Amino acid sequence: MKLSKQVPLNGLRVFEAAARHLSFTRAGEELGLTQTAVSYQIKLLEETIGEPLFERRPRQVALTAVGEKLAPKVAEAFGLLGDALSSVQTMAGDTLTIHSTATFAQQWFSRHLGAFQLRHPKIAVRLLASANMVDFNRESADVAIRWGKGDWPGLVSHRIMRLDFTPMLSPKLAARSGGLKEPADLLNLPIISAGDPWWRQWFTAAGIEEPGLERFPQHEYGTQLLDANIAMAGDGVAILNPDHFREDIAAGRLVQPFDILCNDGRDYWLAYPQSRRNVPKIKAFRTWLLAEMGAETLRDQNAMSGA
């Protein structure tokens, strides 16, 4: 039997219930429809197929031969569809998809996400690192770590880390340079990612309006982590966010030669759609992340005060 018309899904759903109950009335009660509405949907389906599906008898209905052939197939199809939807809902409910900048993912999440998973063992974490800003309307993501000003329309944003920046280098390179007494001394060393706007902003804050950065190779490595690794190898000076490299500073792999910290007004933010602010897995992650960031800030303050 070849159909020339598109089969109405609503009609098939009504047919499946009516065939199972052998009653238009009980099918209507299950689906929240009147008996007249059930009868109308069945009639539309029969017109589409071109064959009667039920024999209408006083106070009861019975399946025709065509109806008997169709009923188990339709029931099976709706069963498969239900299983598929259930599987997707379970996966979506149990998996938290985080979209993050590469540097934040490598330098912060790699050291902390285990604590979240221990606290919420039923929530699986899927971490996607990219330099591109996620579009929640088109891409699969529950939350995002973004850098900017937190003024994204339709999103809830929480500032989680200041994105300050300052030059950093290996202690060996600092020693080989003969000592860095003033910011201008940095210009005698290889400058990593000299085209990064942070460099010019920092030198301006240090009182050097024309540092001549154009004479250095204008490489772009894409993440602070790569710049930092080059600096730790002793091959130049990188401009970095010190918060990302606390362990490297503590271990003596990097040093910050000057106290001048700059900020261009863009920080790290946790962001997610306003419409999904009450989703349990998002609430759990937000609560954990903000508490973890608060505790980290408090530890830093205590360390600075000698407490």
Q: Is the pLDDT of residue 82 over 80?
A: no
Report the chain's mean pLDDT, rounded to a whole number.
87
Q: Among residues of the chain, what percentage have pLDDT more than 70?
A: 90
In the chain, how many domains are there? 3
Q: Give which of 136, 137, 117 is closest to 126, Cα–Cα.
A: 117
What are the tens digits of pLDDT across the range 156-192? 999 999 899 999 999 999 998 888 999 999 999 999 9
Residue 92 has pLDDT above 60, yes or no: no
Lowest mean pLDDT among 31-35, 134-138, 167-171: 134-138
Averaged pLDDT for residues 275-297: 90
The verdict on residue 45 lying in a domain is yes
CB 53 within 8 A of CB 7: no
Q: 297: burial class by Cβ within 10 Å (0-12, 13-18, 19+)?
A: middle
Tokens representing 199 are: 């460099």
Q: Is residue 47 part of a domain?
A: yes
| Count of other CB atoms within 10 angstroms of residue 249 | 15
Q: Is 164 exposed, middle or buried (0-12, 13-18, 19+ CB in 10 A)?
A: middle
The verdict on 188 and 53 lying in the same domain is no
In the chain, the amino acid numbered 191 is: I
Q: How far is CA 6 from CA 9, 45, 72, 230, in A?
A: 9, 10, 20, 62
Instruction: Decide if 260 is inside a domain.
Output: no
Within this chain, do residues 39 and 108 fall inside the same structural domain, yes or no? Answer: no
Query: 82 and 221 in one domain?
Result: no
Two tokens, residue 208: 């050097």
- Which domain, by its residues, includes 120? 95-161+266-305
Pairing mode of beta strands 60-63, 54-57: antiparallel
How much is the pTM?
A: 0.62
In a domain, residue 121? The reply is: yes
pLDDT band at 59 (very low <50, low <70, confident <90, very high): confident
- 42 and 115 assigned to the same domain: no
**Last residue in a domain, options 67, 91, 115:** 91
Residue 165 has a CB neighbour count (10 Å cut-off) of: 23
